[in-house]
Structure 1
Amino acid sequence: MAVPKRKMSRSNTRARRSQWKAKAVALVSCPQCRSPKRPHIACPECGTYNRRQVTAPAS
């Protein structure tokens, strides 16, 4: 099993980890009600997906 020969310095470790960024959630507008929603998921406001009613709308 491969094992590091030397301890990795803090600066090298932190420089590598500096790229671990969380992305903001992608949002698109619903074609039916124009409220923001996540892509490829039924709209939580009006309950439509792909221009079809799939769930009961939120009241």
Structure 2
Amino acid sequence: MAVPKRKVTRSKRGMRRSADALKNPTYVEDKDSGELRRPHHIDLKTGMYRGRQVLTPKEG
């Protein structure tokens, strides 16, 4: 059974847990429509991704 050899200090424990914090999702402004979208994601309203038509645009 694995048993820690030494006590993990509060500093080391906090450094490990610093990556667990929730971060706000980032958004970029679309060059064509000017709307906010997630980076590296398809714009669902226009169906465009990196300057190419990937999906047919949704009606309505």
The answer to whether the superposition gives a TM-score over 0.5 is yes
RMSD between superposed Cα atoms in Å:
2.7
The runs of 5 or more residues in structure 2 that have no matched partner are: none
Equivalent in the alignment of 2:26: 26
Calculate the TM-score normalised by the size of structure 2: 0.63
Question: Aligned partners of 1:49 and 1:5: how far apart in 2?
Answer: 52
The answer on 1:51 being equivalent to 2:51 is yes
| Greater helix fraction, Structure 1 or Structure 2 | 2
* Runs of 4+ with deviation above 6 angstroms: 5-8
Q: Contact 1:47 / 1:54 at 8 angstroms: preserved in 2? A: yes
**How many percent identity over aligned positions?**
36
Question: Aligned partners of 2:26 and 2:34: how far apart in 1?
Answer: 15
